[in-house]
């Protein structure tokens, strides 16, 4: 066992105390006052940990964000942590489900795995390296956002601006249930389908109507044919609303289609096919538009090199590092589109994201702190 891993294992109780403190700050995305209190707490933590500057990014619709920097004037590109403090849990959830630790060493609580466990690892990794006098003389940044659970609408410009300047971005979303990193994430796009027909009385003049539901049914079958599951592409009609009365030929349908892809090329192909819809029913009008989305975080050559270096560093400190992926997106998808080296899923092992059994496996905290600390010390930037 490496000395670094031994040290962080000796600090496990401190990590549990920090994680508990973070979970006890309720921070549902919509509760700005509560989120801002956690922002205050972390601003104080970053300052206590020796950040050379902590910039508060004021927000009106969501909680205030933070951009903390260490060794600002040191040479080289920074390693940047990307964290979010907002959760999906509304005010009062903590009273219903207070923090508890079970006999298997799992800490339960709202927001524990998503992603207050990851925040704990950032704080305790920096604290540990400073305590050991091993904090590297390189630029280290933390961008802390507050709107990830609602699509990062307000934080995306900051994520792009700061990530573009970094040499490596570490997204502290949770690891998989098996403690694997995430070296790929599917791209996501939601499409809105709007169909316009012509109403008519279903008994007296059905032939004079243009049935929007019949048109939708054929468009839905067309969308289903776009599935290519063996290559990671799924196309699913997930919501539909149409018709006005049981005795009227329906004139309008609105539907939503969820698409998931592994590659940028597949995303482009799906968008081209979606938006090139031709009506099946004479006289019907069909409009399909993308209303949101993330490009995929691909397991491309850059990702493979980035993961290989991470794995080698982990093994140097006595860790077993594995990789996997996710069918859901994160801010890591945004970073990946910039061509910047990025790794995701660097948070702790656990399970139950957005669920009642949300928890962190406590024993994984020292392992992840060791990995992060090792990467801060030993990472070699591409082209250096």
202-244: per-residue pLDDT in tens?
999 999 999 999 999 999 999 999 999 999 999 999 999 999 9
Do 221 and 336 lie in a common domain? no
Do 171 and 54 lie in a common domain? yes
Do 236 and 197 lie in a common domain? yes
The answer to the question of residue 213 being in a domain is yes
Instruction: Collect all residues with Cβ–Cβ distance below 8 Å to 21 and sequence separation of at least 6.
Output: 41
Do 164 and 21 lie in a common domain? yes
Phi and psi torsions of 251, nearest 5°:
-100, -15
The answer to the question of residue 384 being in a domain is no
The answer to the question of residue 383 being in a domain is no
Q: What is the pLDDT of residue 175?
A: 97
The answer to the question of residue 199 being in a domain is yes
Tell the burial category of 294 from Cβ atoms under 10 Å away from its Cβ (0-12, 13-18, 19+): buried
Do 290 and 314 lie in a common domain? no
The answer to the question of residue 16 being in a domain is yes
The answer to the question of residue 306 being in a domain is yes
Do 119 and 162 lie in a common domain? yes
CA neighbor of 307 nearest in space, from 332, 285, 328: 332
Domain that holds residue 171: 3-185+298-378
Do 82 and 37 lie in a common domain? yes
Do 279 and 354 lie in a common domain? no
H helix or E strand, kind and range, residue 334:
helix 331-336
How many structural domains does the chain have?
A: 2
Domain end (from 294, 321, 346) = 294
Do 37 and 145 lie in a common domain? yes
CA atoms within 13 A on the CB side of 370: 28
Question: CA angle, 225 as apex, 220 and 227 as ends, to 5°?
Answer: 110
Domain of 209: which CATH number? 3.30.70.360
Write down the mean pLDDT value for the chain.
97
Domain of 17: which CATH number? 3.40.630.10
d(CA 375, CA 79): 9
The answer to the question of residue 371 being in a domain is yes
Sign of the dihedral through C-alpha 206, 207, 212, 213: positive
Instruction: Collect all residues with Cβ–Cβ distance below 8 Å to 59 and sequence separation of at least 6.
Output: 32, 65, 146, 154
pLDDT (tens, 9 = 90+) of the chain, 384 residues, equals: 899 999 999 999 999 999 999 999 999 999 999 999 999 999 999 999 999 999 999 999 999 999 999 999 999 999 999 999 999 999 999 999 999 999 999 999 999 999 999 999 999 999 999 999 999 999 999 999 999 999 999 999 999 999 999 999 999 999 999 999 999 999 999 999 999 999 999 999 999 999 999 999 999 999 999 999 999 999 999 999 999 999 999 999 999 999 999 999 999 999 999 999 999 999 999 999 999 999 999 999 999 999 999 999 999 999 999 999 999 999 999 999 999 999 999 999 999 999 999 999 999 999 999 999 999 999 999 876
Which residues are bridge partners to 60 per DSSP?
none
Helix/strand/coil for 122:
helix
Do 13 and 127 lie in a common domain? yes
Domain end (from 235, 259, 294) = 294
- Determine how β-strand 79-84 pairs with β-strand 342-343: unpaired
CA neighbor of 305 nearest in space, from 160, 100, 121, 167: 167
Beta strands in the chain (DSSP E): 53-57, 65-70, 79-84, 100-101, 106-108, 140-145, 168-171, 181-185, 187-196, 234-242, 252-261, 285-294, 323-326, 342-343, 350-351, 359-361
Q: What is the pLDDT of residue 244?
A: 96
H helix or E strand, kind and range, residue 20:
helix 12-23
130-179: per-residue pLDDT in tens?
999 999 999 999 999 999 999 999 999 999 999 999 999 999 999 999 99
Do 287 and 310 lie in a common domain? no
The answer to the question of residue 101 being in a domain is yes
Domain end (from 294, 327, 356) = 294
pTM: 0.93
Do 105 and 139 lie in a common domain? yes
């Amino acid at each position: 066992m490496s000395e670094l891993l031994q040290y962080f294992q000796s600090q496990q109780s401190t990590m549990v105390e920090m994680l508990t403190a973070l979970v006890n700050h309720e921070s549902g995305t919509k509760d700005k006052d509560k989120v801002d209190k956690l922002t205050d707490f972390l601003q104080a933590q970053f300052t206590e940990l020796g950040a050379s500057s902590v910039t508060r990014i004021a927000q009106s619709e969501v909680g205030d964000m933070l951009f903390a920097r260490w060794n600002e004037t040191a040479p080289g590109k920074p390693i940047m942590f990307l964290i979010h403090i907002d959760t999906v849990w509304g005010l009062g959830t903590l009273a219903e489900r207070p923090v508890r630790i079970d006999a298997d060493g799992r800490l339960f609580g709202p927001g524990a795995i998503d992603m207050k466990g990851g925040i704990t690892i950032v704080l305790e990794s920096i604290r540990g390296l400073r305590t050991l006098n091993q904090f590297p003389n390189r630029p280290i940044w933390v961008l802390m956002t507050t709107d990830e659970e609602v699509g990062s609408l307000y934080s995306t410009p900051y994520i792009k601006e700061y990530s573009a300047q970094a040499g490596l971005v570490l997204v502290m979303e949770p690891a998989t249930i098996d403690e694997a990193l995430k070296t790929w994430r599917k791209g996501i796009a939601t499409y809105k389908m709007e169909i316009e027909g012509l109403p008519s009385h279903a008994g007296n003049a059905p032939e004079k109507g243009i049935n929007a539901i019949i048109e939708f049914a054929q468009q839905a079958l067309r969308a289903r044919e776009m599935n290519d599951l063996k290559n990671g592409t799924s196309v699913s009609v997930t919501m539909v609303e149409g018709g006005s009365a049981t005795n009227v030929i329906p004139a309008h349908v609105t539907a939503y289609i969820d698409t998931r892809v592994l590659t940028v090329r597949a995303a482009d192909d799906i968008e081209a096919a979606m938006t090139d819809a031709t009506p099946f029913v004479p006289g019907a009008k069909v409009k399909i538009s993308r209303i949101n989305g993330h490009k995929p975080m691909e397991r491309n050559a850059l990702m493979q090199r980035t993961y290989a270096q991470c794995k080698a560093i982990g093994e140097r400190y006595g860790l077993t590092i594995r990789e996997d992926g996710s069918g859901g997106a994160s801010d890591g998808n945004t970073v990946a589109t910039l061509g910047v080296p990025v790794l995701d899923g660097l948070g702790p092992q656990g399970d139950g994201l957005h669920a009642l059994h949300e928890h962190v496996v406590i024993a994984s905290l020292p392992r992840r702190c060791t990995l992060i600390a090792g990467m801060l010390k030993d990472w070699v930037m591409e082209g250096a």
